[in-house]
Amino acid sequence: MKAVRMVPSLLLVPLLLVLMQPGALCARRFRGGRNPQPRRSPPPPTHRSDRGDTTESFPLDFTAVEENMDNFMTQVKNLAQSLYPCSAQKLDHDMKLNFLVNTSVTCNDGSPAGYYLKESRGSRRWLIFLEGGWYCFNKENCDSRYETMRRFMSSSKWPQTKRGTGILSPLPEENPHWWNANMVFIPYCSSDVWSGVTAKTEQNGYAFMGSLIIQEVVKNLLGKGLDNARVLLLAGSSAGGTGVLLNVDRVAELLEGMGYAGIQVRGLSDSGWFLDNKQYHCTDCVDTIGCTPTETIKRGIKYWGSVVPDRCRQSHEGEEWNCFFGYRVFPSIKSPVFVVQWLFDEAQLTVDNIQLTGQPVQEGQWRYIQNLGIELRNTLKDVPAMFAPACLSHEVITRNYWIDVQVKGTSLPRALHCWDRSLHDSRNNKPPPKACPVHLIDNCPWPHCNPTCPTIRDQFTGQEMSVVQFLMHMGFDVQKMAQQQGMDPSKLLGMLSSGS
């Protein structure tokens, strides 16, 4: 017990030093009453090219005390309040909007593309996040998208600031491993799964430049500190998660070609590992929801003028659409990539024509959903670094509950920290750290059988649903499932009710 209690104390020592510095500065500012003496202007900032000797700051590993995180963070906040007289002042946690220097790279409607940035002085870690938001693949459904979802096609009404959440949060209690990184959020305004390189013309009416937007953002960031980076994590959710798989090697090659081969480029793909499986029932391909995933991408890749990773293109020449599906493109990716994927992804079920609203699902739909989990497990089994909970959901890394979901007792932030450590140790010819898993996949067979899954809500009433209520709605047969598991039905119900 004593050893466990010492961990937060040891972590607080460097934190004390950090917190005391602003406190001293603030005390100097207000010493002398209402009319403090005027201060000299600060010296001009050092030019970025002179920062070669800057000492890297390493973040505290809050995942080491994640089992007692609430109590630990309460102590930290109390300590900060007592040491820092200015703690009541508003800290600037917002990311600021920047438009691309190269104005020829645009959103769908020709408005300037851009990114949101929150710098973290002294940190040599950068996180670039690609937003998700479906896509459109012909003039008709792009016109419809422009009328109903314009923010995904135009920058005309983007706000000047944006607050990061989840892995983009600057708060250590919400983001224990990446909280002090330089944060970049790239809004999705190209509708092409971050794959296009086509400018707007009078003939096509829209630009599709998602891949070029990423390249230009990286070039712009080199002048804002990325040139001194040690690690660049390209992350994304949904269409952004697929965009990571399509672009992570291109970003690495861009930086290497510009003389920055020392920057370690990695990928984090969340909810972008889609399957090109057969739909539950087939419908006409008239919109993004009704089309099979394969048909959508086949049409889109031509309309967008997409580029795919070179090695994948060579493996699937003439059928480059294969490269939009995780299990097909992953073997060709050279950069390290961590995959986060719900085993029962809502977006996958939607394009497979499984509707989870209204009446309870039929037995055939229930079997289809279970088979989806089996298929996803099979495609992920050879992925070295992954986190796959048996939950029915979509996207996670920017959700405020992302620290709560666990697989086999390990949280996602902890798994990402272990992955970071294993890559660092591998580069230094060290064995991987013990008791620090990076390949985590649930074995239980049905949606939300993991008790740490996100809360389910009835889509009509908004009321929270228990696991038993949810499974009943899904057509779960307690008698049959208990028989399959070799246990008494009442025992199975008790386990489900208690979240076991």
Q: Which residues are catalytic?
A: 238, 345, 394
To the nearest 10 degrees (0 to 180), the angle between helices 239-257 and 210-222 is 50
Tokens of 303: 């309309």
**Residues 6+ positions from 447 with CB-CB distance below 8 Å:** 343, 344, 369, 373, 390, 391, 392, 470, 471, 474
**Type of residue at 481:** M
DSSP calls for 305-324: TB---HHHHHHTTT-GGGGG
DSSP calls for 47-103: PGGG-TTPPPPPPP-GGGGGGGHHHHHHHHHHHHHHH-TTTTSPP--EEEEEE-S-T
d(CA 69, CA 61): 11
d(CA 315, CA 458): 44
d(CA 261, CA 253): 8
Q: 246 with 200: CB under 8 angstroms? A: no
d(CA 348, CA 241): 13
SS3 content of the chain, % helix, strand, coil (to 5): 40, 15, 45
d(CA 69, CA 296): 44
**Residues 6+ positions from 439 with CB-CB distance below 8 Å:** 383, 384, 385, 386
